[in-house]
Amino acid sequence: MIDSCIFVNYISKTMPKMNIPSKYDAKQVEDKWYDYWMKNNYFHSEVDEREPYTIVIPPPNVTGVLHMGHMLNNTIQDVLIRRARLLGKNACWVPGTDHASIATEAKVVAKLKEQGIDKNDLTREEFLAHAWEWKNEYGGIILDQLKKLGASCDWERTSFTMDPALSEAVIKVFVDLYNKGLIYRGYRMVNWDPEAKTTLSDEEVIHEERQGNLYYLSYKIEGSEDTLTVATTRPETIFGDTAICINPNDERFSHLKGKKAIVPLCGRVIPIIEDEYVDVEFGTGCLKVTPAHDENDKNLGDKHKLEVIDIFNEDASLNSFGLHYEGKDRFIVRKEIAKELKENGALLKVEQHTNKVGTSERTKAVIEPRLSDQWFLKMEDLVKPAIKAVLGEDTDINLYPKKFENTYRHWMENIRDWNISRQLWWGQQIPAYFYGDGKEDFVVAESIADALVLAKEKTNNQELRTDNLRQDEDALDTWFSSWLWPMSVFDGIRNPENEEIKYYYPTNDLVTGPDILFFWVARMIIAGYEYKDERPFENVYLTGLVRDKQRRKMSKSLGNSPDALKLIEEFGADGVRVGLLLSAPAGNDILFDEDLCKQGKGFSNKIWSAFYLTTLWETSEEITQPESSKLAIEWYKSKFQKVLAEIEDHYSKYRLSDALMSIYKLIYDDFCGAFLEIVKPAYQQPIDIKTYNEIIAIFEDNLKILHPFMPFITEEIWQTISERTTEEALVIAKYPETASINEDLIKSFEFASDVVSGIRTIRKDKNIAFKNAIELYVVNNENSTTALDVIVQKLTNTSVVNYVSDKVDNAASFRVKSNEYFVPISLDNIDVEAELKKLNAELKRAEGFLIGITKKLGNERFVNNAPEKVLALERKKEADTLAKIETIKASLASLE
CA quadruple 526, 520, 409, 505: dihedral, nearest 10: 50
Q: Nearest-CA neighbor of 651 among 662, 640, 641? A: 662
Cα angle for residues 80, 96, 596 (degrees, 5° grid): 45
Contact between 361 and 282 under an 8 Å Cβ cutoff? The reply is: no
Q: How confident is the model at residue 115 (pLDDT cuts 50, 70, 90)?
A: very high
859: helix, strand or coil: coil
Write the burial class of residue 27 (CB in 10 Å: 0-12 exposed, 13-18 middle, 19+ buried). Answer: exposed
DSSP string, 463-478: T--GGG-EE---EE-T
890 has pLDDT over 80:
no
In whole numbers, what is the pLDDT of the chain averaged over residues? Answer: 90
The pLDDT assigned to 7 comes to: 33
428: nearest Cα among 99, 64, 57, 198? 99
Which pLDDT value is given to residue 341?
94
- What's the CA gap between 695 and 680, in Å, rounded? 10
Q: What is the pLDDT of residue 894?
A: 64
Q: Is 689 exposed, middle or buried (0-12, 13-18, 19+ CB in 10 A)?
A: middle
Given a contact cutoff of 8 angstroms between Cβ atoms, the answer to whether 283 and 231 are in contact is yes
654 phi and psi, to 5 degrees? 60, 35
- Tell whether the model's pLDDT for residue 13 goes beyond 50: no
pLDDT tens digits along 36-53 = 999 999 999 999 999 999
Instruction: Kindly list the distances between the CA atom of residue 666 and the CA atoms of 273, 292, 609, 669, 766, in Å, as whole numbers in the listed order.
Output: 77, 66, 16, 6, 31
Residues 6 or more apart in contact with residue 598 via CB below 8 angstroms: 571, 575, 579
Q: In angstroms, rounded to a whole number, what is the distance separating the alpha carbons of residues 113 and 119?
A: 8
SS (H, E, C) 576-626: HHHHHHHCCCCCCCEECCHHHHHHHHHHHHHHHHHHHHHHCCCEECCCCCC
Structural element, H or E, at residue 503: helix 499-504
**The sheet that has 507-512: what strands, in order across it?**
398-400, 537-542, 507-512
As beta bridge partners, residue 262 has 220, 269
Please answer whether residues 326 and 318 qualify as being in contact, where contact means their C-beta atoms are separated by less than 8 angstroms.
Answer: yes
- Report the DSSP beta bridge partners of residue 509: 539
Residue 128, pLDDT score: 95
The mean pLDDT of 99-116, rounded to a whole number, is: 90
CA 708 – CA 685 distance, rounded (Å): 36
Query: For residues 454, 459, 465 and 468, what is the CA-based torsion angle, rounded to 10 degrees?
Result: -110
**Worst-scoring range by mean pLDDT, 85-99, 513-527, 784-798?**
784-798
Across 443-464, average pLDDT: 95
Nearest alpha carbon to residue 708 among 692, 726, 688, 730: 730
Q: Which residues contact 198 (CB under 8 A, 6 or more apart)?
A: 101, 102, 192, 422, 423, 424
Nearest to 692 by CA among 609, 612, 625: 625
Band of pLDDT at residue 384, cut at 50, 70 and 90: very high
Q: In angstroms, what CA-CA distances link 582 with 197, 400, 575, 701?
A: 43, 18, 11, 22
What type of residue is 131?
Answer: A
Res 154 pLDDT > 90: yes
Per residue in 350-360, pLDDT (tens digit) is: 998 888 899 98
Per-residue model confidence (pLDDT) at position 557: 59
Of 58-62, 120-124, 454-458, 883-887, the one with minimum mean pLDDT is: 883-887
pLDDT > 60? residue 4? no
Residue 659 has pLDDT above 90, yes or no: yes
Three-state secondary-structure class, residue 40: coil
Tell me what pLDDT residue 18 has. Answer: 56
End-to-end alpha carbon distance in the chain: 33
Is residue 674 pLDDT above 80, yes or no? yes
Q: Please give, one letter per residue, the 3-state secondary structure of 225-284.
A: CCEEEEEECCHHHHHHCCEEEECCCCHHHHHHCCCEEECCCCCCEEEEEECCCCCCCCCC
Task: Dump the DSSP string for 183-234.
Answer: EEEEEEEEEEETTTTEEE-GGGEEEEEEEEEEEEEEEEETTSS-EEEEEES-
Residue 272, Ramachandran bin (φ over 0: left; ψ between -120 and 50: alpha; else beta): beta
Question: Does residue 10 carry a pLDDT above 50?
Answer: no
Amino acid at 32: K
Neighbours of 312 (CB within 10 A): 23
What percentage of the chain reaches a pLDDT higher than 70?
96
CB–CB of 779/817 below 8 Å?
A: no
Q: How many CB atoms lie within 10 A of CB 64?
A: 20
Q: How confident is the model at residue 280 (pLDDT cuts 50, 70, 90)?
A: confident
The pLDDT value recorded for residue 3 is: 37
**What are the tens digits of pLDDT across the range 629-639?**
999 999 999 99
- Cα 132 to Cα 107, 141, 163, 580, distances in angstroms: 12, 15, 11, 35
Are 389 and 395 spatial neighbours (Cβ–Cβ below 8 Å)? yes
Position 549 confidence tier, pLDDT thresholds 50, 70, 90: confident
d(Cα 66, Cα 79) in Å, to the nearest integer? 18
Q: How far apart are CA 108 and CA 113, in angstroms?
A: 9
Res. 763: pLDDT tops 50: yes
The reported pLDDT for the residue numbered 5 is 35
Mean pLDDT of 173-179: 98
What are the backbone angles phi and psi of residue 132, rounded to the nearest 5°?
-65, -35
Cα R_g (the chain), whole angstroms: 38
The percentage of residues in the chain with a pLDDT greater than 90, rounded to a whole number, is 69
User: For the purposes of burial, counting CB atoms within 10 Å of the CB of 528, is it exposed (0-12), middle (13-18) or buried (19 or more)?
Assistant: buried
Determine if the pTM surpasses 0.85: no
pLDDT beyond 90 at 8: no
Higher pLDDT, 188 or 218: 218
Confidence class of residue 14 from pLDDT cuts 50, 70 and 90? very low
Model confidence pLDDT, tens digit, residues 553-585: 776 556 777 888 899 999 999 999 999 998 866
Q: What single DSSP character describes residue 509?
A: E
E-strand ranges in 361-481 read 368-377, 398-400, 418-419, 421-422, 432-434, 442-444, 470-471, 475-476
At residue 431, does pLDDT exceed 80? yes
Task: For residue range 585-631, list pLDDT tens digits in order.
Answer: 655 777 888 888 999 999 999 999 999 999 999 999 999 999 999 99
Summarize the confidence of residues 478-492 as an average pLDDT: 97
Q: Decide if pLDDT at 464 tops 80.
A: yes
The average pLDDT across 695-708 equals: 97
Q: Give the helix, strand, coil percentages of the chain, each rounded to 5.
A: 50, 20, 35
pLDDT at 73: 92
What average pLDDT does range 703-713 have in this prediction?
98
Asked which of 7-11, 60-64, 378-382 is least confident by mean pLDDT, the reply is 7-11
Are 752 and 816 in contact, with CB atoms under 8 Å apart? no
333 pLDDT band, cuts 50/70/90, is very high
pLDDT (tens digit per residue) in 816-875 = 888 889 999 877 777 777 878 888 898 999 999 999 999 988 898 888 888 988 889 999
